[in-house]
Amino acid sequence: MQTITRRGFVVGVAMLPALHFSVAHAQTSVSPAEARAIDAQQTNLPKFSTEDLARRTLERRAVDAAIWGMPMVSLDALRQAYYRDGKAKNGDIIWWPKGSTWKNQSLTVNTSLRYLYVFVNTKDDGPVVLDLPPAANGSSFLGTIADAWQVPLTDVGFEGKGGKFLVLPPDHTGEVPSGYIPVRSKTYNTFMGIRSILASNSTEDEQKGDALVKQIKIYPLAKAANPPVQRFVDMTDIMYDGLVHYDESIYTSLARTLNEEPVQPEDLQMMGSSSRSGLRRARSSSLMPRLRPS
């Protein structure tokens, strides 16, 4: 009796699909003309030049980059509106004391809420303090500190608690001074989104809420001994365009923000792909000119 080896069994199994095809083909009557037609269909598949394939690759990478970078691009849209429309500088508080109207063009805002937006940059200013007062007279806060990728770092104002939150840069190695709550960010740009919550909509409670808001202080730790006067910008009647525009500005925004931030290990693959496509660190995006029709 012939012994079937493991290799012979594997080879035999691998040949079954081909054997099945050969039998089926033999049982099907195909005229020479039909055979030529089938061959023509197979040879008439779309043909792409080297330039076509390079462009299709570029377009796929551009879409991948837009999807991957959207959290950063979306937050940068808020940041650019903060600078442009609010005429604000890092550490300023822009806010809507009468509640957000349609002029607050941010994603998912509630028109009945009083929002406060703050951007800080720890590369420019070093560690930055958010001095948030606790709830008082029925007024309180609730918000989040997030990094440039919109990764939440900590909630603030929860259960009416205040505190001195110290936002640290990614490369910070020093000790955290006593009395501060460390907030460790992987990016230099950081966003603080805070809601001012009132006991009611009465004029009296609104004034109490305003008074509590005015107690917030944001300043570099280096100036903790003599914090500068806090600047507030009332955005009630100002158009604030904080939405992403789905055009080539996505890549301008993405290149700008990537140039400002350290690369995270989980983003190395996308950074390599984007760099090959022209979205390079340390310079403006050269991706969009290559995507425009000639």
How confident is the model at residue 276, as a pLDDT?
A: 66
Answer yes or no: is 28 within a domain.
no
Query: What average pLDDT does range 93-98 have in this prediction?
Result: 97
Query: What average pLDDT does range 125-142 have in this prediction?
Result: 97
Query: What average pLDDT does range 102-124 have in this prediction?
Result: 94
Residue 261 has pLDDT above 90, yes or no: yes
Residue 130 has pLDDT above 90, yes or no: yes
Answer yes or no: is 79 within a domain.
no
Query: What average pLDDT does range 229-241 have in this prediction?
Result: 97
Residue 125 shares a structural domain with residue 212: yes
Answer yes or no: is 80 within a domain.
no
How confident is the model at residue 24, as a pLDDT?
A: 46
What is the tally of structural domains in the chain?
2
CATH number at residue 206: 2.60.40.1610
The β-bridge partners of 194 are 116, 143
Answer yes or no: is 174 within a domain.
yes
How confident is the model at residue 123, as a pLDDT?
A: 95
First to last CA, the chain: 72
How confident is the model at residue 277, as a pLDDT?
A: 63
Residue 92 shares a structural domain with residue 204: yes
Residue 42 has pLDDT above 80, yes or no: no
Task: Transcribe 109-150 into DSSP letters.
Answer: --TTSEEEEEEEEHHHHSSEEEEEPPPBTTBEEEEEEEETT-
| Higher pLDDT, residue 229 or 15 | 229
Residue 229 shares a structural domain with residue 250: no
Residue 196 shares a structural domain with residue 255: no
Answer yes or no: is 166 within a domain.
yes
Range of the domain at 60: 52-73+245-291
Answer yes or no: is 1 within a domain.
no
Residue 228 shares a structural domain with residue 102: yes
Query: What average pLDDT does range 105-109 have in this prediction?
Result: 91
Residue 106 shares a structural domain with residue 191: yes
What letters, b where the CB count within 10 A reaches 16 and e where it falls short, cover 31-43? eeeeeeeeeeeee
How confident is the model at residue 53, as a pLDDT?
A: 87
The tens digit of pLDDT for each residue in 185-227 reads 999 999 999 999 999 999 999 999 999 999 999 999 999 999 9
Answer yes or no: is 33 within a domain.
no
Residue 222 shares a structural domain with residue 108: yes
Query: What average pLDDT does range 264-281 have in this prediction?
Result: 75
What are the angstrom distances between the C-alpha of 255 and each of 73, 259, 285? 9, 6, 6
Closest CA to 70 of 246, 284, 275, 189: 246
Residue 149 shares a structural domain with residue 227: yes
Q: Which of residues 217, 241, 265 is at a domain's end?
A: 241
What the block records as the tokens of 16 is 């079954």
The tens digit of pLDDT for each residue in 147-176 reads 999 999 999 999 999 999 999 999 999 899
How confident is the model at residue 87, as a pLDDT?
A: 98
User: Residue 258 corresponds to which amino acid?
Assistant: L
How confident is the model at residue 6, as a pLDDT?
A: 42
Residue 252 shares a structural domain with residue 233: no
Residue 116 shares a structural domain with residue 192: yes
Residue 186 shares a structural domain with residue 135: yes
Residue 230 shares a structural domain with residue 129: yes
Answer yes or no: is 39 within a domain.
no
